[in-house]
Structure 1
Amino acid sequence: MMPVDRIGMTDTISAPDTRSTWRAELRGILMLALAVIGFHSLIARPFYIASGSMMPELLTGDRLVVSKYPYGWSYASVSFDVLPALRGRLFGRLPTRGDIVILTPPDPARRSETLIKRVIGLPGDTVQMVRGRLWLNGRPVATEDRGLQRIVDNGNAPCPGEVTDGICRVHMMRETLPNGASYTTMDLGQSRLDDTVAYRVPAGHIYVMGDNRDNSADSRVATDEGGLGGAVPVESIGGRAEFATFSLNGNATWNPLGWLAGFRWDRTGDSLRPVIRS
């Protein structure tokens, strides 16, 4: 066999195509971002409590998990304000009385806001407040007076009730809706929200209230006063509050080293679904 003449033959090693590498990395980042947005919009998202309208169930500084799928999906399910206010819900289902939901106000000027309230009335229900007590469909809701109860450390805001021996106590009531959903509300005394006219919830709408009944801009409050001006369309619902992940009181600062002192250990993992009484 004659030897192969390799004179003039060279092995060429191609340099990596940096443009292809950058495209692959950019594609990976984009896919990750889309996956996060999809999860937030379709499955669950975190939520921060910035006000006291849902006390005593929720305190300022609580961090929650909100599920997106229990009632189907609508424009309000999307984590970013990118869709128009389309009518209806995909695989839509009505919430249950007593559920805590996040919602987008139907006023176009407030599309950037996300509120959290409790569902009180469903389509066809008649809702009214009479001397500070909730009436539903012409009957008073079962209510138990719990008297003065202690509120856990809430450095985010001053005590809304009485302070004795350095402990904040607030008058509490326990409401039980006709479906058995039971939860605690705060009664801070006489207020203009204690008496309302009877309101019939239209079809395709829900009536919501805050548990802090004397200090909540909800369905009882006019839109020009920052409220919802009545029942809200079901497509305004963005999801259902499920449980608290952790909570920091107002003593916590931006420095993570100081979070330990402001951590509310007793609120971690608390379920936000109403208790069902038989």
Structure 2
Amino acid sequence: MSDTKEDQSGGLWENIKVLVQALLLAVIIRTLFFQPFSIPSGSMMETLLVGDYLFVSKYSYGYTKYSIPFSPDLFSGRIWSSEPERGDVAVFRLPSNTKIDYIKRVVGLPGDRIQVTDGQLFINGEAVKRELVGSYTPEGRYSQSTDVPVYRETLPNGVSYTTLDLTPNSPGDNTREFVVPEGHYFMMGDNRDNSQDSRFEVGYVPLENFIGRATIIFFSIGEGASPLEIWKWPTDLRLERFFKSAQR
């Protein structure tokens, strides 16, 4: 009888050790390498859709206290810092509330002058190349009576991606000129008329607030469906988005 109890106790302890090791490994991977992230809004359509699940590369820009779960105030600044590049889709902590994660595209680097005029993005006084390439039909809560014009922007460094123009002459289509401070970045959503970004309350984003660079979509399901609702997979999975780049 005693041998049986000892065997059960030893088996339980082994299971606990395996569980602890698995949790530690998950924390290390999430902190140093990749963090899963889900898209909560339509601000990055059509590049990223509500229901997309993607990996964020934590090592792309180095590490800050925001790289660690629960963001303990262990240090300031970045370790092994690498600067975001123009055109990167990146996850960052909202400057006004660092408990909230945002995902947007980097369009302005430190020292840049950024302005939007009649829906056209200008960087340092030069218009960013913009051409109409088609239309898009939004799904779910973002659906509307007509298709949305799709434009392809090409930044000065050659990064190219599509943007949506939901409404002509929206509040974000004509802005003042923004001068990006040193150590900060100017972020915009690809869905230009439905994005809270650096044109509005988000403001300039400090380098310290960057979590990582979006890499690849590993799962995608129609808006309103949970990944746990397996019975909806046959109709709601967006298989064409699996393993698609999260950048463009």
Q: Tell me if both proteins adopt one fold, taking TM over 0.5 as the criterion.
A: yes
Note if 1:237 corresponds to 2:215.
no
1:85/1:130 CA distance change after superposition, 3 Å: farther
TM-score by length of 2: 0.90
Note if 1:40 corresponds to 2:11.
no
Equivalent pair of 1:143/1:174 in contact (CA under 8 Å): yes
Note if 1:185 corresponds to 2:185.
no
Pairs within 5 Å for 1:117-132: 117-132=104-119
Residue 132 of structure 1: CA displacement?
A: 1.1
Aligned length: 244
Distance 1:272 1:14 in 2: 53
Equivalent pair of 2:136/2:150 in contact (CA under 8 Å): no
Q: Which runs of 5+ in 1 are unaligned?
A: 1-12, 163-168, 223-227
Distance 1:21 1:258 in 2: 38
Distance 1:142 1:15 in 2: 73
Identify the residue that residue 137 of structure 1 maps to in structure 2.
124
Identify the residue that residue 16 of structure 2 maps to in structure 1.
26
Note if 1:271 corresponds to 2:245.
yes
Matched letter for residue 89 of structure 2: I
Matched letter for residue 142 of structure 1: K
Residue 18 of structure 1: CA displacement?
A: 6.8
Q: 2:45 aligns with which of 41, 45, 55?
A: 55
TM-score by length of 1: 0.81
CA RMSD of aligned residues (A): 2.2
Equivalent pair of 1:142/1:176 in contact (CA under 8 Å): yes
Matched letter for residue 103 of structure 2: I
Q: 1:210 aligns with which of 189, 196, 200?
A: 189
Equivalent pair of 1:161/1:188 in contact (CA under 8 Å): no
* Secondary structure in structure 2 of the residue aligned to 1:40: helix
Q: Structure 1, residues 223-267: CA drift from partner, whole Å, max 9, x if none?
A: xxxxx1x21111111111111112111363553112210011211
Percent identical pairs in the alignment equals 39
Note if 1:170 corresponds to 2:148.
yes
Q: 2:136 aligns with which of 146, 150, 167?
A: 150
Higher alpha-carbon Rg: 1
Note if 1:200 corresponds to 2:179.
yes
1:20/1:82 CA distance change after superposition, 3 Å: farther
Distance 1:220 1:145 in 2: 23
Pairs within 5 Å for 1:97-112: 97-107=86-96, 110-112=97-99
Note if 1:261 corresponds to 2:238.
no
Equivalent pair of 2:47/2:247 in contact (CA under 8 Å): no
Equivalent pair of 1:130/1:194 in contact (CA under 8 Å): yes
* Secondary structure in structure 1 of the residue aligned to 2:94: coil
Residue 29 of structure 1: CA displacement?
A: 2.2
Q: Which runs of 5+ in 2 are unaligned?
A: none
